[in-house]
Amino acid sequence: MSAPYHPVQTNEKASTSDLDLESDDMNATTPPRPRYSTRRLLEIALFFLSLLINAYLLGYRSTPVTVSPPPNDHSNELSLSVDPGRLEPLYSPANVALKDEYRVFTKLGVKTPYNTPYDDETDKLWEDMYSMGIQKIDKHEAALLPNWTEPIEGDDEHYVVILHVFHQLHCLNYLRKALMPERYPNITRFGPPIPPDPTPFDHTDHCINTIRESLLCNPDITPDVYQWKEERQSIYLHLDTLHVCKSWDALTDWAKERQVLETWDAKGRKVHDHDAHLRL
C-alpha cells in the first residue's frame, strides 16, 4: 500500500520544517490525522515524532530562556553596569577617610582668614593645613599602592607617603609667599637643578605646574551661576554655589593619626640609594 508513505512524508516534512522555523510547530502537531488502517507503524512513527518535537521544543524553549538572563548574559550585565568612561579607582590608604559633605564656596568680594592682609595668624592657618606632612602607612597598605614607596628606616612595618593634597597646599602657600617677598624674604625662588632639567630648579614654576595638573586631573564641574545684582545693575558671577566636597576634618584626622613625627631623612636609606627626595 502506498498509504503508509504519506504520513511518513508529512512527518518528515514537519520535522524538517520544525528545525527551520520554530513557529511552524503547529503544523507538526495538527497534521496527524491517522485515518489509515495500517496504523501501527504510523502511530509509532507519530509517537516518536511527537517525542522528538516535544524534546526539541522543550530544548529550544529552555535554551533562550536560560541563555538570555543568567549564563551568557553576564557580559551584557557588566557592560551595562560599568560606565565606559570610568576606570577602577586606584587604591589609597586614605580612601577610608573620604566623607562627602556640602559646602558653599566663598562669595566673590568676601575675604576669608586665609586671604590678605598676611600676618602671623594667617601664616599659621596656612601651615596648619598641611603640617601633618608625611604619613606612615602599614606594610600591607603599602603593598596595595600602585607605585612603590620606601619603608621607614628601622621600621620595616611602616612605609612613608604624602597625600598629594598636602603637597598641593604646600605649593599654593609657597606661591602665596612668593607674591610677597617683602614679608617672606627667605622664599628662594631658585634651587639646585633637578635632572633631567639642567637649569636651576624654579620652585614657583614647579608649583604652578603641579597645581595645574591637579586642577586638570580632578576638574570641579560645579556650575557657577550668573545672577542679576540690583545694586550693580548688572549680571554678576557667583562663586558662592553649592559643592559636594570631601570633609577636610575627616581627611586631616586620618593624616594626623599617621603623621611621621620623626625627622624625615631622605638620605637615611641604607639598602640602595637613588632619588628618594620628599620635601615640604
Give 179's DSSP letter. Answer: T
Give CA–CA dist 133/112, Å, rounded.
23
Could you tell me the smallest distance in angstroms from the CB atom of residue 166 to ligand NAG? Answer: 17
What one-letter code names the amino acid at 44? I
Is the Cβ–Cβ distance between 180 and 118 less than 8 Å?
Answer: yes
Of 20 and 121, which has the nearer Cβ to ligand NAG? 121
Give CA–CA dist 187/111, Å, rounded.
25
Side-chain-side CA neighbours of 275 within 13 Å: the count stands at 3
Could you tell me the smallest distance in angstroms from the CB atom of residue 184 to ligand NAG? Answer: 7
Of 81 and 186, which has the nearer Cβ to ligand NAG? 186
Could you tell me the smallest distance in angstroms from the CB atom of residue 172 to ligand NAG? Answer: 17
Of 81 and 147, which has the nearer Cβ to ligand NAG? 147
Side-chain-side CA neighbours of 177 within 13 Å: the count stands at 23
Of 77 and 127, which has the nearer Cβ to ligand NAG? 127
Of 113 and 146, which has the nearer Cβ to ligand NAG? 146
Residue among 106, 103, 101 at smallest CA distance from 239: 106
Residue among 123, 101, 113 at smallest CA distance from 251: 101
Helix (H) or strand (E) holding 176, with range, is: helix 164-178
Of 146 and 196, which has the nearer Cβ to ligand NAG? 146
Could you tell me the smallest distance in angstroms from the CB atom of residue 195 to ligand NAG? Answer: 15
Could you tell me the smallest distance in angstroms from the CB atom of residue 150 to ligand NAG? Answer: 11
Of 114 and 118, which has the nearer Cβ to ligand NAG? 118
Interface residues toward ligand NAG, by CB under 6 A: 146-147, 186
Is the Cβ–Cβ distance between 11 and 34 less than 8 Å?
Answer: no
78 conformational bin, left if phi > 0, alpha if psi -120 to 50, beta if neither? alpha
Give CA–CA dist 150/134, Å, rounded.
12
Could you tell me the smallest distance in angstroms from the CB atom of residue 278 to ligand NAG? Answer: 12
Could you tell me the smallest distance in angstroms from the CB atom of residue 190 to ligand NAG? Answer: 13
Q: Which three cell numbers stand for residue 151?
A: 619603608
